[in-house]
Structure 1
Amino acid sequence: MRDRSQLPDKIYNVHYENDIHYTMQLCRWILKPIGIWHLIYGRSSLYEKLISRTLIFVCFSVLCFVLIPAGPYTLLREKDIIIKIRLFGPVYFCLTSALKYCFLGMRGTAIRRCIEHVEHDWQVIQYEDHRKMMLRNAMVGRRLTTLCVIFLYIGGMSYHMIMPLKNYTIRPLVYLGYDIYFNPQISPAYEIVFFLHCLSALIQYSITTATCSLGAIFATHACGQVQILMTLLNDLVEGKRSKNTTVDNRLSLITRHHVRILRFMADVEEVLREICLMELVAATLIICLLEYYCMMEWANSDIVAILTYFILLISLSFNFLIFCYIGELIVEEYSKIASAAYEVNWYDLPGHKALNLVLIITMSHYPPKLTAGKFCDLSLNTFSTVLKTSVVYLNLLRTVTE
């Protein structure tokens, strides 16, 4: 079932299947239920692709079931500004999740290239310390994915399942606007709508965690490849690791490895740039709204609502922090290449071969970056800017609603 045309000429790592499974396991678990995995994975069968298309149709139908009634109701029909603001947050998050879902499908070819690149890198590892470096970075990617899943699902599902049950006078729903189609307060219509709302929440948070998982896995894999590149640079002069090779052979290997890293990061940037832009805009507005919701419930002394909104605020803030962290991590690791190239005993190289290191040092001053739609770089400084901007919007929102 394995397409041998995609395998390298020689496989050195006998554990590559287990290593690939360890790296991609959580991402595969998240992408399969929303129908993306088998469409982007190059060795999926026709039956698996048919299942994926069916799941995508179901997921989009559930998201549309939320957006089509709730969007016009929130923007046009609801006149109370406080209720309108309260409804705008979940509707906007659902809309951005649907857009990210579309971008995942549109970038399927680039995601497939990245996955094949990761698999190839695991197959051609020759040294045990290189494998340990990659496993260590893969573990970081798994931990970031796990934290994102825990925070988002706990915060999001508590909002969709606990908050509506607090009101005993009516049968409340998170999303409104169904009254022009049917009466959502009677049974079994209410139960069906409530179930579909919870299902839509699962889909939305699965989409969000899927994008975060892809970014974390690809970014940490790139960091592992940069660390391997630095070990190759350390071995350039003496060649203790790769015996029976010349300096030209070792320099050629370093150059090819460096170029592969740059090409991989170009593909990762292509996959994530629109998604990161959506995350940037959504994080700025939704963090502002959640801060406003916490203040409103604080005035009402509603402990359950305050706790729910606060958990959701932490969850969405942490999700965007992961994107900014991996952007910062890539730049930080890549910038170390210049120091590694300079610290080798380049003065012992024969002839003018040391001049070949100048290009590597020069390129390391222009590290690949994750950007939000090529408008701004993702870094910890960007995260602090988003938090400051959300506070500015919060003050503006309080001025308008008072």
Structure 2
Amino acid sequence: MQVTMDPTTEINYALGITRICMQALGLWPRTSNKLRLTIIAIYLLALTEWFAGQYAYYITKKLDWMPFIVKIKHTVVAHMFIGKYLLAIIAGSQFGECLSALERDWHNVKLTYEIEIMRIYATKGRYYALICFILSFTTVTLQLIVPLTPLSESRAFPYPSHYWFDYQSSPYYEIVYTLKIFSSTILAACNVTVDGFIIILIMHVIGQLELVSEHIRNMEVMKSTIETCVQRHRVVIWMAETLENSFNLVFLCHFMVSAIVMCLAGYSLMKSVERNESLESVISMFFIGSIAFHLFLYCYVSDKLTEKSLQVGYSAYCCNWYQHECKQSKPLLILMIRSSRSLKLSAGKFIVLSLENFTDVRDYLVVNFKAEIFWYIKKYFLQVLKTTGAYLSVLRKF
């Protein structure tokens, strides 16, 4: 049954707050190039102050190994966020192509069941992106208010920083602190916006694969032709491969740095628990949870993408192909051959994102820590991560 719906409203609902953040960060493909470049230049200039202050701190301060490990996690994760932002800027044209494909699918949908399936996956993508926003901005907010608590040092900054002027006196301290708030918000927004938009697009592709399977299973009822199913499947494969080819470096950036950052944050959590620093422990837990959830989302949607792509071939095999003429059934062979090669996401073309690799993230840790740190990580944090991933792998089957 055909129904009337407003495609623009559905698209805006699917993108949600991600669209607003993309426009604010200069990543929205429909924004004029002049405005985009202006926004990007302003943000990069603001972030220069953030990184310069931290670099100066590490150069001028002679820190012992343990305090250095506790403090460096913010700088490492900031490099990951700005790296993802720059990669998203470079992949701007691919963002536009995928967005156009999403809009085209919403404008072409007609039947009630098609709209329901697309709404289900649009809602999932929207909620996943929203959880990323909540976790990331909660972590940043907690970090920003730490210097304002009585437990903190007088006139401290949220992140370790040093400048070649009297930054402790007014109004310099207030100005620098305001810049820290601004730049920290930009960094968090860069991370969750890029992740959120990619997740929404991948969930849309998964929904389209579900539609193709549904078309094949109910070919006679819906009066759809085999050629139409094959053509739609071809478009979905193109979109999935475009996402993979365009953003595999983003996945690699997040996958590799996440292993290091979560290890640093895990060690910081253990030390803060030993010193009974409750606020720092809470921040470290949110920090770990945010990074781990982003990584888990990439692995989860990649697993779902693989599952749904293989399901298309299975649906073609189980349909009533024997009731059609030989000439009409041949396109199904093409569809099954294409489906035999599952769609997946990879980190840099050599690490397949999956829940199995999520639980084995320790294998990609490339930094050699001192024995005490590695012992803490191995005994407490990575074992918890692997166990949690195993439970999630079992629960998702129910």
Number of positions where the alignment pairs a residue of Structure 1 with one of Structure 2: 375
2:129 is paired with a residue whose SS is: helix
Shift of 1:189: 1.2
Q: What's the counterpart of residue 71 of structure 1?
A: 55
- State the 1:68 CA deviation: 2.0
* TM-aligned CA deviation for residue 101 of structure 1: 1.1
Deviates more, 1:167-176 or 1:212-221: 167-176
The one of 113, 118, 142 aligned to 1:134: 118
| Residue 184 (structure 1) shift | 1.7
Task: Answer yes or no: is 1:372 the counterpart of 2:372.
Answer: no
> Does residue 295 of structure 1 match 2:276?
no
Q: Is the 8 Å Cα contact of residues 70 and 267 (structure 2) preserved in structure 1?
A: no
SS at match of 2:351: coil
Q: Quote the residue 1:15 is aligned against.
A: 6
Q: Indicate the residue corresponding to 1:203 in structure 2.
A: 186
Partner in structure 1 of residue 396 of structure 2: none
CA distance in 2: counterparts of 1:350 and 1:309, whole angstroms: 63
Distance 1:162 1:76 in 2: 23
Structure 1 letter corresponding to 2:265 = L
Q: Name the CA shift for 1:301/1:144 in 2 (closer, same or farther; >3 Å).
A: same
Are the aligned partners of 2:240 and 2:343 in contact in 1 as well (CA < 8 Å)? yes
TM-score by length of 1: 0.86
Aligned equivalents of 1:182 and 1:176: distance in 2? 15
Is the contact made by 1:369 and 1:377 (CA closer than 8 Å) also made in structure 2?
Answer: yes
Is 1:277 matched with 2:277? no
Aligned residue for 1:66, secondary structure, equals helix
Structure 2: which amino acid aligns with 1:272?
A: F
Q: Following superposition of structure 1 onto structure 2, how do residues 158-237 of structure 1 map, counting pairs within 5 Å?
A: 158-162=142-146, 165-179=149-163, 181-236=164-219
Alignment of 1:345-356 (within 5 A): 345-351=320-326, 353-356=328-331
Distance 1:397 1:362, change over 3 A: farther
Relative to structure 1, the CA distance from residue 317 to residue 144 in structure 2 (aligned partners, 3 Å threshold; closer, same or farther) is: same
In structure 1, which of residues 103, 111, 114 is the aligned counterpart of residue 87 of structure 2? 103
Q: Retained in 1: the 8 A contact 2:70–2:265?
A: no
User: Are 1:321 and 2:296 an aligned pair?
Assistant: yes
Distance 1:75 1:368, change over 3 A: farther
SS in 1 for 2:347: coil
What is the aligned counterpart of 1:55 among 34, 39, 43?
A: 39
Distance of aligned partners of 1:262 and 1:120 in 2 relative to their CA distance in 1, 3 Å threshold: same
- 2:25 maps to which residue? 34
Aligned to 1:125: 109
1:64–1:390 distance in 2 versus 1, CA, 3 Å: same
**Distance in 1 between the 2:351 and 2:363 partners?**
16
Aligned mates of 1:232, 1:182 — CA distance in 2: 67
Distance change >3 Å, CA 400–CA 220, structure 1 → 2:
closer
| CA deviation after TM superposition for structure 1 residue 369, in Å | 1.2
User: Aligned equivalents of 2:298 and 2:356: distance in 1?
Assistant: 12
Does the 8 A contact of 1:27 with 1:214 survive in 2?
A: yes
> What code does the residue aligned with 1:233 have?
I
Whole-angstrom distance in 1 between the partners of 2:325 and 2:9: 42
User: Is the 8 Å Cα contact of residues 212 and 319 (structure 1) preserved in structure 2?
Assistant: yes
For 1:190, the aligned partner's letter is Y
Unaligned runs of at least 5 residues, structure 1: 1-11
Q: Residues 230 and 25 of structure 1: is their aligned pair in 2 closer, same or farther, counting only changes over 3 Å? A: same
Map 1:326-345 to 2 at 5 A. Answer: 326-345=301-320
Q: Give the counterpart letter for 1:216 in structure 2.
A: I
User: In 2, distance between residues paired with 1:137 and 1:30?
Assistant: 21
**1:70-126 Cα shifts (integer Å, max 9, x gaps):** 125326753422222222111111112111111111000000000000000111112
% identical aligned pairs: 20
- The one-letter code of the counterpart of 2:246 is V
Q: Would the alpha carbon gap of residues 22 and 34 (structure 1) be closer, same or farther in structure 2, given more than 3 Å must change?
A: same
CA shift digits 1:345-370 (9 cap, x unpaired): 11212235434322322221212211
Aligned to 1:156: 140
Q: Distance in 2 between matches of 1:98 and 1:33?
A: 15
Residue 177 of structure 1, CA deviation: 4.4
2:128 alignment partner, one of 144, 156, 160: 144
Structure 2 distance, partners of 1:127, 1:163, is 56
> Conserved in 2, the CA contact under 8 Å of 1:13 and 1:123?
no
For 1:51 and 1:352, how far apart are their aligned partners in 2? 53
SS at match of 1:162: helix
Kindly indicate whether the alpha-carbon contact (under 8 Å) linking 1:145 and 1:216 is maintained by their aligned counterparts in 2: yes
- Give the partner amino acid of 2:106: W
Equivalent AA in structure 2 for residue 336 of structure 1: Q
Query: Does structure 2 conserve the Cα–Cα contact (< 8 Å) formed by 1:288 and 1:390?
Result: no
TM-score normalised by length of structure 2: 0.87
Distance 1:304 1:271 in 2: 39
Give the deviation of 1:32 after TM superposition: 2.0
